[in-house]
């Protein structure tokens, strides 16, 4: 009898996976069980083959993706590269639980700044601007929690980028060496 | 980045998914056009869905479960319609009975008017072959006879639509998003973001468009009702409802809406049916003109800013097609259907440009 009841009430493993991934994601961390169910009914689950592009650089972005299972590689395409094999510059690899493309949630017709390609059979959760709008419209308190976390993530990314730029500037300065000293012409400045 | 074998496999899979997606839509369209009353019910259900959706969201925001949030505006609407029918029906029945009683007089006066115009034209142009009075009389007799035969069919069709449309609308409100998500899940990965954004945009624009049109029609109807009631014009509520409904047809709708009142005023002036009342053609025309002026100057710029207007020639063509396919109902729904098509095509075109720029 127990087995029967267990089978009736147990959610499919796939759904459990989606819920766990959502629950562990920083964007949805503050949500209650009820709010998570609400969000789970709104997001989209997409499957990608190894080598298939999730999105390409330059396309209009509509939202972000969370990796449920698989591997995603991020590339930046340099159209000015002399040889084709050097056109795609590898940036990073993302694994289970990681997310990408979140800037599109707040941008108006913003274009993707990099390409994302699946490297294994990959399952992703797609969370898009229309979905966020729907949550804010139907359940504003849940929407606000997500937007606050999103702002936090974007702020952190901005800080990381600023640190990286400062670091690069410093390296560049070191590589260039000290600025040349102007020859003394006998006049006081 | 991708080998040839995988590329061809992906291409095959994408075509398969896209074909399945389009096939489902095609089957849906065929069913809508082949099953009696389904298309009209579906369009009306869409209208109800778009009109009630903001209210449902409002109640949902108050932590009321969605199925209950849908039932609240549903029951309120039924209650309001019931009360309105209870209050207005005796008035409308009375007015229809009075109109029925006056109809022979109107018919006689209209023919007399045509006769007088005919005589004047004959004296002016000397056209002996012109026999407008007889032609108009024959036309009126034929149309009255036709009305008695098609009326039962219209009543039965209207009843089916009146029952089916709210039923379909309930499921659109309850499961519409789930169905959309299900359909979107069939879209191949390379077109998914495009399809999702497009779906959202069309939904948003159509919702705004339908709500704005209905608000516009209600305000025009109210202004006409008030105006006609103030001057004591007969059948003010009936004429106002007619004006509000025909106002849903852009460009020619307001003209059609004014025709019955103008005709009554014309006959009253000429045939002395309502000569005791201070009603004349200029006053009645002014009321309809004021209603349209309020619509054009205040409602359209501030409320109906999202309306996607069609070119006047397109409107006429679309109305003719609608009338040919589905009569009066076709005329009313032809413009929203054409607007949906225009919106869809524009959005697809813009998106294709945008995504591939």
Residue A186 has pLDDT above 80, yes or no: no
- Give the least confident one: A43-52, A77-86, B173-182: A77-86
Name every chain A residue with its beta carbon within 8 A of the beta carbon of B9.
49
Report yes or no on whether pTM surpasses 0.90: no
Residue A170 has pLDDT above 80, yes or no: yes
What is the C-alpha separation between B346 and B309, in angstroms, rounded? Answer: 13
Q: Tell me if B291 sits within 8 A of B224, measured CB to CB.
A: yes
Q: Tell me if A104 sits within 8 A of A112, measured CB to CB.
A: yes
Number of residues in chain A: 189
HEC profile of chain B: CCCHHHHHHHHHHHHHHHHHHHHHHHHHHHHHHHCCCHHHHHHHHHHHHHHHHHHHHHHHHCCCCHHHHHHHHHHHHHHHHHHHHHHHHHHHHHHHHHHHHHHHHHHHHHHHHHHHHHHHHHHHHCCCCCCHHHHHHHHHHHHHHHHHHHHHHHHHHHHHHHHHHHHHHHHHHHHHHHHHHHHHCCCCHHHHHHHHHHHHHHHHHHHHHHHHHHHHHHHHHHHHHHHHHHCCCCCHHHHHHHHHHHCCCCCCHHHHHHHHHHHHHHHHHHHCCCCCCCCCHHHHHHHHHHHHHHHHHHHHHHCCCCCCCCCHHHHHHHHHHHHHHHHHHHHHHHHHHHHHHHHHHHHHHHHHHHHCC
Mean pLDDT for B318-336 is 74
Mean pLDDT for B322-337 is 73
Q: Which strands form A88-94's sheet, in the order they lie side by side?
A: A53-55, A115-118, A72-77, A88-94
Name A118's Cβ contacts closer than 8 Å, sequence gap at least 6.
Answer: A48, A49, A50, A51, A52, A53, A54, A70, A71, A72
Residue A128 has pLDDT above 90, yes or no: yes
- Residue labelled with tokens 């000397």: B126
Domain definitions of chain A by residue range: 2-174
What's the start-to-end Cα distance of chain B, in Å? 21
Q: What is the pLDDT of residue A4?
A: 45
Chain A residue with the nearest C-alpha to that of B181: A44
Mean pLDDT for B334-348 is 73
Residue A48 has pLDDT above 90, yes or no: yes
- Place A149 in a pLDDT band, splitting at 50, 70 and 90: very high
For chain A, the C-alpha Rg in angstroms (whole number) is: 23
- Residue labelled with tokens 């025709």: B259
Q: Min CA distance, B1 vs chain A (Å)? A: 7
Q: What six digits make up the tokens of A120?
A: 């294994």
Angle at CA of residue B237, ends B235 and B243, nearest 5°:
100
Using the 8-state DSSP alphabet, how is residue A180 labeled? P
What is the C-alpha separation between B185 and B195, in angstroms, rounded? Answer: 10
pLDDT, tens digit (0-9, with 9 covering 90-100), for B260-292 = 888 777 776 554 444 444 457 788 888 888 888
ipTM at complex level: 0.80
pLDDT, tens digit (0-9, with 9 covering 90-100), for B64-123 = 888 899 999 989 988 988 887 787 777 767 767 776 777 777 777 777 777 777 777 767
Q: What six digits make up the tokens of B253?
A: 């709708």
| Window 101-160 of A, Cβ < 8 Å to B | 109, 117, 126, 128-130, 133-134, 137-140
Chain B residue with the nearest C-alpha to that of A85: B1
Instruction: Give me the phi and psi of A93, to 5 degrees please.
Output: -120, 135
The class (CATH top level) of A2-174 is mainly beta
The helix (run of H) or strand (run of E) holding residue A78 is none
Q: What is the dihedral of CA B238, B243, B245, B247, to 10 degrees?
A: 180
Name every chain B residue with its beta carbon within 8 A of the beta carbon of A43.
none
Q: What is the pLDDT of residue B124?
A: 67
pLDDT, tens digit (0-9, with 9 covering 90-100), for B7-17 = 888 888 889 98
Burial class (CB in 10 A: 0-12, 13-18, 19+), B257: buried
What is the C-alpha separation between B262 and B240, in angstroms, rounded? Answer: 13
Q: Distance of CA B209 to CAs A143, B341, B350, Å?
A: 26, 13, 19
Asked if the Cβ–Cβ distance from A137 to B57 is below 8 Å, we say: yes
DSSP 3-state of A142: helix
Q: Which of A124, A101, A118 is nearest to A44 (CA)?
A: A124
H helices of chain A, where?
A: 2-9, 13-24, 33-40, 129-138, 140-176
DSSP 3-state of A167: helix
Q: What is the pLDDT of residue A36?
A: 92
Asked if the Cβ–Cβ distance from B2 to A60 is below 8 Å, we say: no
- Place B127 in a pLDDT band, splitting at 50, 70 and 90: low
Rounded mean pLDDT of chain A?
A: 84
Residue A30 near chain B (CB below 8 Å): no
pLDDT, tens digit (0-9, with 9 covering 90-100), for B143-161 = 767 766 777 777 777 888 8
Hey, how many other C-beta atoms are within 10 angstroms of the C-beta on B73? 20
Q: Min CA distance, A117 vs chain B (Å)? A: 9
Residue A46 has pLDDT above 80, yes or no: yes
Q: Which of B191, B347, B354, B193 is nearest to A58 (CA)?
A: B354
Hey, how many other C-beta atoms are within 10 angstroms of the C-beta on B201? 17
Question: Angle of helix B281-294 relative to helix B253-271, nearest 10 degrees?
Answer: 160
Chain A residue with the nearest C-alpha to that of B180: A42
Q: What is the pLDDT of residue A61?
A: 87
Q: Tell me if A60 sits within 8 A of B355, measured CB to CB.
A: yes
pLDDT cut 90: percent of chain B above it: 10
Q: Tell me if A104 sits within 8 A of A64, measured CB to CB.
A: yes
Helices and strands counted in chain A (H then E): 5, 8
Q: What is the pLDDT of residue A3?
A: 46
For A117, the closest of B1, B57, B184 (CB atoms) is: B1
Chosen from B1, B2, B9, B353 to mutate, greatest number of chain A CBs within 10 A? B1
What is the C-alpha separation between B220 and B246, in angstroms, rounded? Answer: 10
- Place B228 in a pLDDT band, splitting at 50, 70 and 90: confident
């Amino acid at each position: 009898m127990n087995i029967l009841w267990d089978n009736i009430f147990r959610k499919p493993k796939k759904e459990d996976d989606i819920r766990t991934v959502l629950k562990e994601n920083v964007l949805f961390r503050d949500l209650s069980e009820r709010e998570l169910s609400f969000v789970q009914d709104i997001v989209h689950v997409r499957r990608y083959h190894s080598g298939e592009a999730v999105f390409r650089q330059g396309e209009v972005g509509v939202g972000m993706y969370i990796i449920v299972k698989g591997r995603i590689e991020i590339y930046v395409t340099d159209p000015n590269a002399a040889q084709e094999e050097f056109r795609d510059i590898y940036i990073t690899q993302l694994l289970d639980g990681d997310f990408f493309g979140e800037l599109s949630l707040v941008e108006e017709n913003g274009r993707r700044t990099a390409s994302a390609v699946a490297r294994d059979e990959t399952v992703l959760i797609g969370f898009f601007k229309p979905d966020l709008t729907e949550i804010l419209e139907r359940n504003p308190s849940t929407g606000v929690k997500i937007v606050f976390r999103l702002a936090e993530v974007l702020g952190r990314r901005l800080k990381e980028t600023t640190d990286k730029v400062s670091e690069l500037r410093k390296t560049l300065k070191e590589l260039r060496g000290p600025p040349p000293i102007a020859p003394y012409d006998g006049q006081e400045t | 980045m991708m080998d040839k074998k995988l590329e061809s496999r992906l291409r095959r899979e994408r075509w398969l998914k896209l074909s399945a997606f389009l096939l489902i839509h095609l089957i849906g369209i065929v069913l809508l056009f082949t099953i009696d009353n389904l298309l009209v019910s579906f369009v009306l259900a869409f209208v109800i869905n778009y009109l009630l959706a903001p209210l449902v969201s409002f109640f949902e925001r108050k932590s009321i479960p969605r199925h209950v949030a849908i039932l609240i505006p549903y029951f309120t609407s039924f209650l309001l319609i019931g009360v309105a029918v209870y209050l207005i029906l005796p008035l409308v029945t009375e007015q229809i009975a009075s109109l029925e009683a006056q109809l022979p007089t109107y018919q006689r006066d209209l023919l007399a008017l045509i006769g007088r115009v005919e005589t004047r034209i004959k004296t002016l142009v000397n056209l002996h072959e012109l026999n407008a009075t007889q032609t108009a009389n024959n036309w009126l007799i034929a149309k009255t006879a036709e009305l008695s035969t098609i009326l039962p069919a219209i009543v039965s069709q209207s009843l089916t639509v009146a029952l089916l449309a709210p039923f379909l609308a309930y499921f659109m409100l309850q499961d519409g998003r789930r169905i959309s998500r299900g359909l979107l899940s069939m879209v191949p990965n390379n077109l998914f973001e495009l399809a999702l954004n497009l779906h959202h945009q069309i939904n948003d624009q159509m919702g705004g468009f339908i709500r704005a049109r209905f608000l516009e029609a209600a305000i025009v109807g109210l202004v006409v009702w008030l105006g006609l009631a103030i001057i004591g014009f007969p059948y003010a509520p009936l004429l106002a409802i007619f004006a509000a409904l025909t106002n849903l047809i852009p460009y020619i709708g307001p003209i059609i809406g004014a025709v019955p009142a103008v005709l009554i005023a014309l006959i009253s002036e000429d045939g002395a049916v309502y000569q005791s009342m201070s009603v004349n053609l200029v006053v009645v025309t002014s009321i309809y003109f004021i209603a349209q002026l309020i619509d054009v100057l205040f409602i359209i710029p501030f409320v109906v800013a999202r309306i996607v207007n069609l070119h006047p020639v397109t409107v006429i063509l679309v109305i003719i097609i609608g009338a040919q396919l589905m009569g009066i109902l076709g005329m009313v729904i032809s413009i929203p259907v054409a607007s949906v098509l225009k919106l869809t095509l524009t959005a697809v075109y813009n998106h294709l440009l945008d995504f591939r720029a």
